[in-house]
Structure 1
Amino acid sequence: MCRIGTHMRLGDLWAKHGSGTLQPDSAETKELFIFGVTDDSRDVRYGYLFCALPGVKENGLAFCSQAAAKGAQAIAVPEGTLDEAVGLNEYEREKIVVLRVRDIRAFYARLAADFHPGRPGMIAAVTGTNGKTSTVCFLRDLWGEDGRSAVSLGTLGLQARDKRHSNLEAGLTTYDAKTLHIMLGELERRHGITHLAMEASSHALDQQRLAGVTFDAAGFTNLTQDHLDYHETMEAYFQAKVTLFDERLRTDGVAVINISDTYGVQVASAMTARGTTVISYGDASDNADLVVRERIPHVQGQTLKVSVFGIPYEVDAPVAGSFQAENILCALGLAIGTNVPVDRAIAGISCLAPVSGRLELAAVLANGAAVYVDYAHTPDALDNVLRSLRPHVGTNGRLHALFGCGGDRDTKKRPIMGRIAEELADCVWVTDDNPRTEDPDMIRREILSGATRATNAGSRPEALELALSKLRSGDVLVVAGKGHEDYQVVLQRDLSGQPILDSRGRPTTKKIAFSDPNVIREIIAAL
């Protein structure tokens, strides 16, 4: 490929990544230099290639004329797009090359990788409905204990073991393609990072944001109901997850799969068939490579008796919960699969750092009642966290669950989560999560339709104050749904109380400061 600094010939880019048509398709066209690529028309500079990506809320086609005005040399649009939809005037059509691309999202991600090269030598990705954040943090720590320069990237942002390298929560679990590749290159070149553990969301996989990355190892935690507002069916949701293994994982890489999950069994079978090494984990009955034989809960976490390829080990893990034990197994498999010796990986488990908002012990009241904060916001996650903490409830103690459901998201799970909470907890307090543009009380009522004995506890501050006031000796309160988040997303209103609308007449939202652990501690201090 002809490359001068960051300039690339359009013909070379098209030969490497293109699938579709060029307009005009000529030798002169292919000699044009492209100086950069973006999917944001506001970032277009002279000689850039603008990719008009279809979005959930916006369509990039609406910004082609703006990109042209800012100096775009070429514009990529989805295959089949009519000239009228591109919106260029007659003069612009003479000057600007239009690329009609079969898979424009993947095309953009691969271009981003070309214009922003470099990456840590070892990259592992974890996908699944629940457990991604904990698993990548645990893997980062296991690599670190083995002397590797490692960071994790995902919902909690960019983190080393004892340091946050971003003070902002990630807006997305997995970043957009260009941001991701800029970060990968900088991590390698400027910061000497050799190992990266990152989350791979179903949205990112479906939208091909990771199409420019080849992974050395990949983990699958589980698949349960979530994001059906986007994927619509569980099969479509599953197929998005499978993309990580079928398309992004090196054939000679390592797949670490939870075979206690029925979807995981399918992934493991597919990987075995294509010749990829599989390390399985799960229940003893599954004949998995990695198994927790016994879990002994205690105040500071749990003692795990595990079997690793048939050999027994015992180790103290400084994190609570059966599902965290599963996440540790996934991280353990990924560490072993990326050349950490088994004995060192096992020893590293005792040094794992607690993960923010993942079964985080937020406070212990004077009477001994414990309060945990967790990110559980799906039916399966709520089920897991309540079952995991039941053994920590004292004699004659009660298990309390306080949670809500996000607005403008999957509504089907609301009554399901209400039913699960009522079945597994002794006291259920239904409150707000991130209501966004929906009526908070209506969301609570939808949850309560599946939980006849639960209490509509009002807003989150009110609910926390009420639930904390009811805790007795031996009780455990799980505050679920928001975990590490230090804000709530609410409807934005004007001074008269009316919703503020955007240019298209849609209600807007804003973030307000709200941290479950901080509010919990403030309330307890005032009791």
Structure 2
Amino acid sequence: MKLLKDILYGVSLSAVSGDTNVLVNQIHFDSRKVEMDDVFVAVRGTITDGHEYIQKAVESGAKAIVCEELPELLINGVTYIKVSDCNSALAIMAANFFDNPSKNLKLVGVTGTNGKTTVTTLLYNLFKKAGYKVGLISTIKVMVDDTDHPTSHTTPDVITINTYLSQMNQIGVEFCFMEVSSHGIHQKRAEGLHFAGAIFTNLSHDHLDYHKTFAEYRDTKKRLFDGLPKSAFALVNIDDKNGLVMLQNTKAKKYTYALKSYADYRAQILEKQFNGQLLKLDDNELWSKLIGDFNAYNLLAIYATADILGLEKMETLRLMSELENVDGRFQYYISKDKITAIVDYAHTPDALKNVLVTINALRTGNENVITVVGCGGDRDKSKRPVMGHIASEMSNQAIFTSDNPRTESPEAIIADMEAGVEAQNTKKVLSIENRRQAIRTACKLAMTNDIILVAGKGHETYQETNGVRVDFDDFKEVKEALDSQN
């Protein structure tokens, strides 16, 4: 148990009713988890407002309530703390509760529309290969050195983050690489954390259902860099015009990387093949199994970060040559009929375009590109026609299908995608709601040397419809479909 006043250290308090010099057990923002002597923080969410569950938390034994509005009835023996922002208060309290674990390791945050998972995962793999104890907090999973924990959010809640960071402290983890999403920044999930550095990959159309405007989306990302201390580093891609925006107000030491512009770290693509590409980094050549311009940027960000954090350059290049593709990121399979299937998480217009540009740059022109793609339900609707346009324009055949429909009608989502298809491309488009059937149809249409891209879900091993998740793995589905044709 810990003293409430110690947990509240650094929180801006508007009013206090009761005693803060009391021992408390755990912190919760979900009233269903509250037990005797816990603290309940009444966070206002996008769907529910924690203030509606204050009484329930008290009845469950909460010793303290943190809220933005004090309830009319204050119960004797319960301490009520009024704050201006419960999300911010929760972040600081969670860090204090676990003795600020991010201070005891080098935590590096990675933000941007695309590339976050690849950069964080490969940095984790690189530093593991270099002999360090390392942590990873990503879309795919959380790693506490060698221990694997599944995750469901790009940026977990602040209690979960600090729990894992505390576990990392206990086993002597030196570096942790963490994806930091715009949702996570906006909801203050990155507050209370001490970052040793931050990386900006790129910015393109995404999450405008949540942030409403591109400027708001960009400025939310920027807050990660604005909050960095002087002791930290800020590494940005300046081939993206938003890279310099990220650096405008940061106190951190500034570094840049680019393929096209003058920068502190530069790379050049010398050769491209389906099984990898040859890069020139700092006048040294690197053969990497990761292909595409987007992966050249990812690899350059990894190389720069490793250098900034003190790894020896030639050893870094040697270890980078051993790095494999991240699951669901340009993950490919070649069938006995020499049909190439590529599974990629591309779920934004920019990511889909990047993957198709890469595929079209590698093909000879004699093979067909068949793209299977959908868009998620209950998410940014404005990107759907753009995705439909890109898939139909840049493929010989496009099959529109379900992604994770969630609570929306799959037919309506597909119709939104179809609205972006230009007249000359309508004959190239099929719409098949069932994703398994769409993938199997693509495999049946494919001939020797053709390329099938299955985009949108990548590493996900489920499909979500009306709150129900069923097992579904794009890579397994396309592999089984191709193998069954032999």
TM tier relative to shorter chain: over 0.9
Q: Which of 295, 301, 324 lines up with 1:330 in the alignment?
A: 301
Q: Give secondary structure in 2 for the equivalent of 1:98.
A: strand
For 1:497, the equivalent position in structure 2 comes to none
Please tell me whether the aligned partners of residues 217 and 337 of structure 1 are also in contact (alpha carbons under 8 angstroms). no
User: What amino acid is aligned across from residue 227 of structure 1 in structure 2?
Assistant: H
**Alignment pair present for 1:280 and 2:259:** no
- Corresponding position of 1:263: 242
Q: Show structure 2 runs of 5+ residues with no match.
A: none
Instruction: Give me the whole-angstrom Cα distance separating, in 2, the residues matched to 1:101 and 1:302.
Output: 53
**Per-residue Cα deviation, 1:339-385 (whole angstroms, up to 9, x for no partner):** 11222222221011220000001x21223221100000011111111
Q: Would you say the 8 A contact 1:375–1:481 is kept in 2?
A: yes
Bigger drift between 209-218 and 481-490 goes to: 209-218
Deviation at 1:428, TM superposition (A): 1.1
Of 12, 21, 27, 1:37 maps to 27
Give yes or no for the alignment of 1:77 onto 2:67.
yes
Identify the residue that residue 393 of structure 1 maps to in structure 2: 363
- % same residue: 31
Q: 1:299 to 1:381 in 2, by over 3 A?
A: closer
Residues 3 and 20, structure 2, Cα contact 8 Å, conserved in 1: no
Q: Secondary structure at the match of 2:279?
A: strand
* 1:248-293 CA distance string (max 9 Å, x none): x23221111011111112113433xx3x222211133x20122222
Q: Secondary structure at the match of 2:76?
A: helix
Distance 1:414 1:196 in 2: 35
**AA at the equivalent of 2:474:** D
Deviation at 1:474, TM superposition (A): 2.7
- Check conservation: 1:433, 1:488, Cα contact below 8 A: yes
Match of 1:97 among 51, 57, 79: 79
Q: Which whole-Å CA distance do the structure 1 matches of 2:134 and 2:324 have between them?
A: 14
2:432 paired residue number: 457
TM-score by length of 1: 0.87
Deviation at 1:149, TM superposition (A): 1.5
Q: State how 1:319-468 maps to structure 2 within 5 Å.
A: 319-361=290-332, 363-452=333-422, 453=426, 454-468=429-443
Cα deviation for residue 321 of structure 1 reads 1.7
Superposition pairs for residues 159-238 of structure 1, below 5 Å?
Answer: 159=143, 165-166=148-149, 168=150, 170-189=151-170, 191-238=171-218
Match of 1:18 among 12, 29, 32: 12
Matched, 1:124 2:116: no
Aligned partner of 1:3 in structure 2 is none
Q: Which amino acid aligns with 2:189?
A: R
For residues 122-163 of structure 1, give each alpha carbon's deviation from its aligned partner in whole angstroms, at most 9, with x where no partner exists: 1111001110000001111222232212232211112489x6
The whole-number CA distance in structure 2 between the counterparts of 1:262 and 1:113 is 34
Q: Secondary structure at the match of 1:521?
A: helix
* Equivalent of 2:97 in 115, 124, 128: 115
When residues 164 and 352 of structure 1 are mapped into structure 2, their CA distance, relative to the original with a 3 A threshold, is: farther
Q: In the alignment, which of 99, 124, 142 is matched to residue 140 of structure 1?
A: 124
Give the partner amino acid of 1:101.
Answer: V
Unmatched tracts of structure 1, length 5 or more: 1-5, 492-508
Once the two structures are TM-superposed, the CA of residue 9 in structure 1 deviates from its matched residue by 4.2
Q: Secondary structure at the match of 1:224?
A: coil
Instruction: Indicate the SS of the match to 1:250.
Output: coil
Structure 2 length as normaliser, TM-score? 0.94
The aligned amino acid for 1:33 is: L
Given the superposition, is the C-alpha separation of residues 148 and 82 from structure 1 closer, same or farther in structure 2, using an over 3 Å criterion? Answer: closer
Report the Cα distance in structure 1 between the residues aligned to 2:92 and 2:318, rounded to whole angstroms. 39
Match of 1:471 in 2: 446
Which of 48, 69, 72 is the matching residue for 1:58? 48
RMSD across aligned C-alpha pairs, in angstroms?
1.8
* Amino acid corresponding to residue 243 of structure 2 in structure 1: G
* In 1, Cα distance between equivalents of 2:76 and 2:462: 49
Answering whether residue 475 of structure 2 is matched by residue 517 of structure 1, we say: yes
Q: How many residues of Structure 1 are paired with residues of Structure 2 in the alignment? A: 478
Equivalent pair of 1:433/1:481 in contact (CA under 8 Å):
yes
1-structure distance, mates of 2:8, 2:121: 38
